[in-house]
Structure 1
Amino acid sequence: MGNIQLRQVMPDHADLAALIQKLDADLLNRYPEGEIFGLNFDDPKINEVEFLVAYSDEVPVGCGAIRPLDHESTELKRFFVEQAFRQQGIAKQILIELETRAKELGFKSIKLEAGAPQPEAIRFYKKHGYYEIDRYGEYVTCESSLCYEKRILEGV
């Protein structure tokens, strides 16, 4: 593994788009198309989403984002690490950076959605303190959705 650098990028960044395309291809191998919940990049609120791209020796290898849900909660979205770069701590670095940023922005919790076809993701999130919650928001009616949350500010 090379030197990993995390960079905040704009929603229209080419490296982010390439990684999201790979993420979507992976998800289409696991879920029916109607059960993939991405982000609408044409929505004016897309600029409220903070995106990170992880680089290994200047090669984009992973990404993640936080999207505000309300004044207390943000949501982890578009979290992905290239297959060849998994199990090297990159996902952990992205997650820690996004959690730190969410704290800086004053959010009390981070929520996320995954599903049984992503057992490695579920193990990862549980290992990092996320616990299962009831489905929320756009996931309420999706039977394959498993939702998780982590409280990130003490005393809340």
Structure 2
Amino acid sequence: MDISIDDLSASDVVALLEEHLAELRAVTPPESVHALDLDALRRPEVTFWTARDHGVLLGCGAVRRLDAHHGEIKSMRTSSAAQRRGVAAALLARMLSDSARAGLRRISLETGTEEFFAPARALYEKFGFSRCPPFGEYQEDPNSAFMTKLLTPLV
């Protein structure tokens, strides 16, 4: 599996992100969907990674820098064909190590509280994330679970 920073220009990446947004909108009330669209993911404060196997897209994820030392995980998604193959864990590990190297000291995230999001919450807990109050511009929302993790500085 090759994990690298991506510019979101490939059609398979665009299709995976469109599928991601459509599915989130189908399982979450509109006011509780906090996923970023393509334009927002292309902003300078966002780093976006893809995982591929011999050119086949397996998954993606992003970190949006909130300030000099705090980032937020966005758009974690594994393709349907690659689920339960360790893609999300490999992507998350890479995103966390690259973020620590870039000077981030904390990574937070918002995910859903519905059963659909249980595997995501379990993955984040496995990686040491713990529940936290809303951060950044988020407000309390019964459909949102907020989690955070301190990062170990890497050089």
**Is this a same-fold pair by TM over 0.5?**
yes
Counterpart contact for 1:15–1:53, Cα < 8 Å:
no
How much does 1:43 deviate? 5.3
Counterpart contact for 1:69–1:75, Cα < 8 Å:
yes
Counterpart contact for 1:68–1:75, Cα < 8 Å:
yes
**5, 10, 27: which one pairs with 1:8?**
5
Distance (whole Å) between structure 2 residues aligned to residue 24 and residue 66 of structure 1: 17
Distance (whole Å) between structure 1 residues aligned to residue 29 and residue 136 of structure 2: 19
Q: 1:25 to 1:103 in 2, by over 3 A?
A: same
How much does 1:13 deviate? 4.0
Residue number in structure 1 paired with 2:152: 153
Residue number in structure 1 paired with 2:99: 102
Q: Which amino acid aligns with 1:63?
A: C
Classify the secondary structure of the residue corresponding to 1:110.
Answer: strand
- Structure 1, unaligned runs of 5 or more: none
Q: 1:47 to 1:116 in 2, by over 3 A?
A: same
Residue number in structure 1 paired with 2:83: 86
Counterpart contact for 1:109–1:152, Cα < 8 Å:
yes
Distance (whole Å) between structure 2 residues aligned to residue 69 and residue 100 of structure 1: 17
Distance (whole Å) between structure 2 residues aligned to residue 16 and residue 44 of structure 1: 12
Report the TM-score when normalising by structure 2: 0.88
Query: Does 2:98 align with 1:138?
Result: no
C-alpha RMSD of matched pairs (Å): 1.9
Moved over 6 A (4+): none
Deviations along 1:34-65, one digit per CA (max 9) or x if unpaired, are 21112254459712211011112211120001
